């Protein structure tokens, strides 16, 4: 008896301590689901949060490592760089983000608390860095990339923390915090790293038949699992269900539109693989900010088409302009796929917020838009809690107030990201960071031991001169 009693006392004490901490801590749910000590006779193993989060985490893992990895391997002589640097940067970033986000958001009781949910948050931060990476692909050394990740994550972490804690916005798919932040940070970096000679084009800045196929595979991985990305952090139940449907619809709309526009905007009516690789994904971003709301499938479809058109025109007309006039050499066109679409998405989110009514949402309105729920002590809260027992007290914001906070978040994010990117770019210009010279950009040979067939692989023509040497 004595032994078990003692054990029991330990657990009761620990649990009470943990609960005390929980009560005193605002913010996201606290994770004790991986701690053996805090399991007791009320614990039901299958209700561990693991089982709600792990499937989404696994999908996002595929997107980060295989999706981005293959997509970024599109240069004919920079496949190793695209795929392996993506692997390195992603791994580093996730670890670093666990610490930074942990410090800002999951730190209590003297420790950073860790669960699969935190890994999902860290993978989102990782997506930010990988998007920014797209702007400088092929023109940076791994040391520079690591430093970029090292600096971008804290800037992102602070922004995220401020937006989540103070502005409290609705942005399930991360259009503002992930896509817009990543885009303007990346543009800031590439602005400082401007290389005038690359504006004339670089002999290795092209794809090969195999690299194009590999890159399309990356696109398909991203396309297939994007609904998991956009819905991973929504409320469970109908919110998550809507997020998945809207993302799927948005992506479908933008894919069809991308094929049509690619052929129509090309001189010879042919489809460009670069469009298949990038523009098809625009719809996933444009539905992001309103993905869990009752925007209706039709609106998701329209958002997909709008995002695709903006993205396509961006690649066609805006990117060359930015490169020549504004020193913004955006290697993967992240401003088209993440910037323009992110802005459209934010705008759509604001509209959806302004149009949201109790007639459409029922009392769930106060869950999806949790900051519009009545504050603690408001008698309305108690009434609503009879309808939805789990409803938490909010801030009593009106739709307009919420919309203004969204606007503030967009501009705030752009400003912080751009300044952060510029400063990071300055750091990356420091000497001794092994920045590749202009001639050997987009070239695996600089950083990798390449296989014997490298020198002639993917070469457009087997030069007769070399052969007759």
- Return the residues of window 7-46 that contact a second copy according to CB under 8 A: 7-8, 10-11, 14, 33-41, 43-46
Closest contact distance (angstroms) between CB of 282 and a second copy is 13
Distances (CA, A) of 56 to 117, 226, 233: 10, 10, 9
User: Which residue's CB is nearer to a second copy, number 161 or number 361?
Assistant: 361
With CB under 8 A as the rule, give the number of residues binding a second copy.
Answer: 137
Of 237, 375, 392, 415, the one binding a second copy by CB under 8 A? 237
> 9: which residues sit within 8 A by CB, 6+ positions away?
none
Q: Build a one-symbol-per-residue string for 292-321: x at contacts with a second copy by CB under 8 A, - elsewhere.
A: --x--x------------------------
Of 228, 278, 341, 406, the one binding a second copy by CB under 8 A? 228
Any contact of residue 271 with a second copy (CB under 8 A)?
A: yes
Closest contact distance (angstroms) between CB of 149 and a second copy is 11
Which range touches a second copy (CB under 8 A), out of 19-27, 153-161, 341-349, 452-460? 452-460
Q: Which two tokens stand for residue 447?
A: 């950083």
User: Which residue's CB is nearer to a second copy, number 240 or number 413?
Assistant: 240
User: Which residue's CB is nearer to a second copy, number 343 or number 391?
Assistant: 391
Site for a second copy in 64-103 (CB under 8 A): 65-66, 69-70, 73, 76, 79-80, 83-84, 87-88, 91-92, 94-95
Any contact of residue 265 with a second copy (CB under 8 A)?
A: no
Closest contact distance (angstroms) between CB of 418 and a second copy is 29
Q: 73 near 82, Cβ under 8 Å?
A: yes
Q: 133 near 148, Cβ under 8 Å?
A: yes
Q: What is the distance between the alpha carbons of residues 411 and 419, in angstroms, rounded to a whole number? A: 12
Of 158, 198, 235, 371, the one binding a second copy by CB under 8 A? 235
Site for a second copy in 159-218 (CB under 8 A): 206-214, 216-217
- Return the closest-CA partner of residue 85 out of 143, 30, 31, 39: 143
Which range touches a second copy (CB under 8 A), out of 155-163, 398-406, 414-422, 460-468? 460-468
Of 150, 205, 252, 313, the one binding a second copy by CB under 8 A? 252
User: Which residue's CB is nearer to a second copy, number 38 or number 408?
Assistant: 38
Long-range contacts formed by 255-262: CB under 8 A, 24+ apart: 255/223, 255/280, 255/283, 255/308, 257/304, 257/305, 257/308, 257/309, 257/312, 258/282, 258/308, 258/311, 258/312, 261/308, 261/309, 261/312, 262/312
Q: What is the distance between the alpha carbons of residues 6 and 166, in angstroms, rounded to a whole number? A: 43
Any contact of residue 457 with a second copy (CB under 8 A)?
A: yes
User: Which residue's CB is nearer to a second copy, number 72 or number 347?
Assistant: 72
Q: What is the distance between the alpha carbons of residues 163 and 26, in angstroms, rounded to a whole number? A: 14
Any contact of residue 223 with a second copy (CB under 8 A)?
A: yes
Which range touches a second copy (CB under 8 A), out of 172-180, 315-323, 407-415, 443-451? 443-451
Beta strands in 338-421 (DSSP E): none
Q: What is the distance between the alpha carbons of residues 226 and 234, in angstroms, rounded to a whole number? A: 14
Any contact of residue 256 with a second copy (CB under 8 A)?
A: yes
Any contact of residue 266 with a second copy (CB under 8 A)?
A: yes
Site for a second copy in 394-433 (CB under 8 A): none
Q: 254 near 280, Cβ under 8 Å?
A: yes
> 295: which residues sit within 8 A by CB, 6+ positions away?
246, 287, 303, 348, 352
Any contact of residue 115 with a second copy (CB under 8 A)?
A: yes
Q: What is the distance between the alpha carbons of residues 172 and 181, in angstroms, rounded to a whole number? A: 15
Any contact of residue 255 with a second copy (CB under 8 A)?
A: yes
Q: 33 near 239, Cβ under 8 Å?
A: no
Which residue do the tokens 């751009």 mark? 418
Of 156, 229, 315, 447, the one binding a second copy by CB under 8 A? 447
Any contact of residue 378 with a second copy (CB under 8 A)?
A: no
Q: What is the distance between the alpha carbons of residues 204 and 331, in angstroms, rounded to a whole number? A: 13
Which range touches a second copy (CB under 8 A), out of 187-195, 324-332, 333-341, 440-448? 440-448
Any contact of residue 105 with a second copy (CB under 8 A)?
A: no
Any contact of residue 360 with a second copy (CB under 8 A)?
A: yes
Give the SS3 label for residue 42.
coil
């Amino acid at each position: 008896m004595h032994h078990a009693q003692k054990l029991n006392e330990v657990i009761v004490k620990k649990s009470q301590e943990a609960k005390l901490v929980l009560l005193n801590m605002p913010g996201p749910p606290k994770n004790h689901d991986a701690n053996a000590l805090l399991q007791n006779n009320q614990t039901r193993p299958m209700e561990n949060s693991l089982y709600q989060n792990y499937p989404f985490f696994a999908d996002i893992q595929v997107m980060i490592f295989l999706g981005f990895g293959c997509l970024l391997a599109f240069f004919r002589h920079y496949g190793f760089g695209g795929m392996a640097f993506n692997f390195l940067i992603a791994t580093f970033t996730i670890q670093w983000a666990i610490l930074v986000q942990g410090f800002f958001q999951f730190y209590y009781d003297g420790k950073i608390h860790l669960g699969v949910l935190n890994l999902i948050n860290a993978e989102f931060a990782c997506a930010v860095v990988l998007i920014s990476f797209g702007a400088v692909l092929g023109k940076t050394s791994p040391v520079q990339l690591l430093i970029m990740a090292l600096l971008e994550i804290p800037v992102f972490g602070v922004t995220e923390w401020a937006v989540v804690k103070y502005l409290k916005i609705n942005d399930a798919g991360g259009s503002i915090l992930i896509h817009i932040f990543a885009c303007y940070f990346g543009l800031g970096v590439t602005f400082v790293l401007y290389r005038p000679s690359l504006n004339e084009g670089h002999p290795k800045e092209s794809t090969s038949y195999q690299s194009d196929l590999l890159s399309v595979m990356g696109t398909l991985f991203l396309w297939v699992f994007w609904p998991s990305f956009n819905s991973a952090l929504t409320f469970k139940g109908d919110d998550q269900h809507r997020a998945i449907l809207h993302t799927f619809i948005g992506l479908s709309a933008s894919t069809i539109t991308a094929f049509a526009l690619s052929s129509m905007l090309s001189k010879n009516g042919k489809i460009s693989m670069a469009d298949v690789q990038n523009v098809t994904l625009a719809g996933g971003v444009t539905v992001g900010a309103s993905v869990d709301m009752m925007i209706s499938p039709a609106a998701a479809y329209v958002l997909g088409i709008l995002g695709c058109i903006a993205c396509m025109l961006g690649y066609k007309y805006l990117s060359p302009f930015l490169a020549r006039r504004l020193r913004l050499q955006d290697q993967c066109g992240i401003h088209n796929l993440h910037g323009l679409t992110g802005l459209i998405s934010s705008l759509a989110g604001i509209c959806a917020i302004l149009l949201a009514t109790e007639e459409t949402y029922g009392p769930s309105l106060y869950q999806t838009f949790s900051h519009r729920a009545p504050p603690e002590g408001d008698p309305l809260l108690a009434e609503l809690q009879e309808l939805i027992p789990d409803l938490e007290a909010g801030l009593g914001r009106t739709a307009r107030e919420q919309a203004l906070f969204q606007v503030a978040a967009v501009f705030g994010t752009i400003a912080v990201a751009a300044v952060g990117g510029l400063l990071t770019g300055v750091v990356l210009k420091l000497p001794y960071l092994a920045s590749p010279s202009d001639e050997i950009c987009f070239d695996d040979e600089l950083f990798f031991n390449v296989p014997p067939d490298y020198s002639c692989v993917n070469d457009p023509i087997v030069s007769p001169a070399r052969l007759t040497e």
